Amino acid sequence: MATIDLLRAALTELRPQHLDLLDESHMHSRGLETHYKAVIVSDVFSGLNAVKRHQKAYASLGDLMGQIHALALHTYTPEEWAQQGVAPASPTCKGGH
Per-residue model confidence as pLDDT tens digits over 19-42: 999 988 777 665 677 789 999 999
One digit per residue, the tens of pLDDT, for the chain of length 97 reads 889 999 999 999 999 999 999 988 777 665 677 789 999 999 999 999 999 999 999 999 999 998 888 899 999 999 999 998 888 887 766 654 4
Q: How far apart are CA 80 and CA 61, in angstroms?
A: 23
pLDDT at 25: 77
Amino acid letter at 62?
G
Ordered domains of the chain (ranges, CATH): 3-84 (3.30.300.90)
Closest CA to 11 of 57, 42, 43: 57
pLDDT at 97: 46
CB 75 within 8 A of CB 45: yes
Q: How far apart are CA 54 and CA 37, in angstroms?
A: 13
pLDDT at 89: 83
Tell me the percentage of the chain whose pLDDT exceeds 90: 62
pLDDT at 79: 97
Q: How far apart are CA 83 and CA 34, in angstroms?
A: 31
> DSSP assignment of 25-90, as one string?
GGGSSS-SS-EEEEEEE-GGGTT--HHHHHHHHHHHHGGGGGG-SEEEEEEE-HHHHHHH-SPPPP
